[in-house]
Amino acid sequence: MQTEKDRAGQFFLKRRGRRGKFSIYWYDAATRQTSRISLGTTDIEAARAALYEHALKHDRPKQDSDAQLAHVMQVCWVNYGQYLPSAHTHLAAQRDALETWGDISVSQLDRRLQLQFVNALRTRGLSDWTINTRLRRIWATMNWYKRDNPELAIPPVITAADWKPNLSDKEQTYSLSELASLFDAASDQTEDFRYTREHWWRFMVLAVGTASREAALRELTWDQVDLRLGRIRLNPEKRRQTKKRRATVPIAPTVAKELESWTRDGSYVITYYGKRLMTREFYDLLAETAGVQGGTNVIRHTVRTWLAEFGVPDSEADTFMGHKAEGSATSKRYIHRRPEFLHRVTEGIEALFDELSKLMKRPLKGRTLEDQPDPDDPFCTRLRAKCVPSSDTHLCNLLNLERETRLELATPTLARSCSTN
């Protein structure tokens, strides 16, 4: 006999047919009809067990379509984010989001609040790349949470067209004084001697010397540097070229002397106490310390502008920048092995270093003034006295020459007598 125990949520048991086999019934709101599943048993206890199992599987309470942002971030961090290689970027994104928005619900993150977040990071001097990374990390956290909570409604993230046109990185270039300020900030020693800025200095030398993108320089290894041939292969072996092409560039003399003087703390050229730089946040701190605006691409634009003003042909400059060039694919495979490869580019880069060295506090290798003698130094004066003869010494030398060669030296009297004969 059926009782109230034969119902579980919206599902209930009912006998059907002559044999009296049990079926599970429920009302389907989508079709506005009663649906059923036959259990194929006449045993009431077995039918009840099947009913409860079916209800637990299909009659879950409807999940909430909203959640608190702090809760979402905490769940994602504990179960996923802290185990990623980029865990520090996830943590930074969570910190900036909660500092800017507070503990609001996910559904409140409309376009206005997202632009407020962008403006807050801009005020702090963060670059385009960092702001975009922060936004992507926040939305990645919410999308991860949605996998187990499919009812969560996530607002669409703003696109680059909503906020990037207000920044002028694509047209911005640094002046020589701004570039020198970046070098000076990289050469200053911090008050705490446990922290070094040598990785800042190496990045600036290579960024100006190669006009490369910062990702290629962070991933640059010593195996890609050929000091014998004077080339840096920015695209490592077994890496497929993408539309952000990494070229093979010549090493300017100043860059070569800097590379020769650097210690090798690992396989990567730019390291922080032997560890590879994983993100470009170091440049944001460098720019903030130097008091300049703009990201790493501004250095690249500045070098390209300088080469154009220096008179480097566009074909050579485009090859140096990694832009796709015309010509045979076979010839391009060997062009970087020619001794005169991008010779005009090398001259332009050296001219840029010449101008920067006049404004920088720390001299570049090969340009140290300490290696050059001071003309007013007493020791140099004595050496000059030995090398440059006085008037008396000069007369003695002439008399000795006449005695040894038996030839009368040309004098004004001899010259007049020769001209009258």
Question: Looking at this protein, which amino acid is placed at residue 220?
Answer: L
State the Cα–Cα distance between residues 77 and 85, nearest whole angstrom. Answer: 13
State the Cα–Cα distance between residues 205 and 305, nearest whole angstrom. Answer: 17
Give the pair of three-digit tokens for residue 52.
Answer: 């409860």
User: Going by C-beta distance under 8 Å and a sequence separation of 6 or more, which residues neighbour residue 179?
Assistant: 208, 299, 302, 356
pLDDT given at position 167: 47
Split into its structural domains, the chain has a count of 4
Is the residue at 420 inside a domain? no
Same domain, 199 and 343: yes
Q: How many beta carbons lie within 10 A of that of residue 11, not counting itself?
A: 20
pLDDT given at position 255: 92
pLDDT given at position 132: 85
Same domain, 197 and 108: no
Is the residue at 415 inside a domain? no
Rounded to an integer, the average pLDDT of 30-42 is 83
Residue 65 has pLDDT above 80, yes or no: no
Is the residue at 414 inside a domain? no
Same domain, 380 and 329: no
Mean pLDDT taken over the chain: 80
pLDDT given at position 181: 93
Residue 299 has pLDDT above 80, yes or no: yes
Residue with tokens 């590879």: 276
Same domain, 96 and 160: yes
User: Going by C-beta distance under 8 Å and a sequence separation of 6 or more, which residues neighbour residue 303?
Assistant: 208, 211, 349, 352
Residue 380 has pLDDT above 90, yes or no: no
Domain that holds residue 22: 4-58
Assign residue 227 the CATH number of its domain: 1.10.443.10
State the Cα–Cα distance between residues 158 and 149, nearest whole angstrom. Answer: 23
pLDDT given at position 14: 86
pLDDT given at position 353: 92
E strands, 131-247, where?
225-226, 231-233
Residue 153 has pLDDT above 70, yes or no: yes
Higher pLDDT, 62 or 123: 123
State the Cα–Cα distance between residues 82 and 108, nearest whole angstrom. Answer: 26
Same domain, 45 and 103: no
Instruction: For residue 157, give the DSSP letter.
Output: P
7-8 and 275-276 as β-strands: parallel, antiparallel, unpaired? unpaired
Residue 300 has pLDDT above 80, yes or no: yes
Stated length of the chain: 421
231-233 and 248-250 as β-strands: parallel, antiparallel, unpaired? antiparallel
pLDDT given at position 377: 64
Rounded to an integer, the average pLDDT of 275-296 is 86
Residue 268 has pLDDT above 90, yes or no: yes
Is the residue at 416 inside a domain? no
Cα dihedral sign for 319, 325, 329, 335?
Answer: negative
pLDDT given at position 202: 93
pLDDT digits (tens, 9 = 90+) for 197-250: 899 999 999 999 998 988 899 999 999 999 988 889 988 888 888 878 888 889
**If pLDDT is split at 50, 70 and 90, which confidence band does 330 have?**
very low
Rounded to an integer, the average pLDDT of 110-131 is 86
Model pTM greater than 0.95?
Answer: no
Same domain, 93 and 43: no
Q: Cα–Cα distances in Å, from 396 out to 189, 331, 392, 402?
A: 58, 65, 6, 10
Residue 143 has pLDDT above 50, yes or no: yes
Same domain, 36 and 90: no
**Most confident of the ranges 49-58, 198-207, 275-284:** 198-207
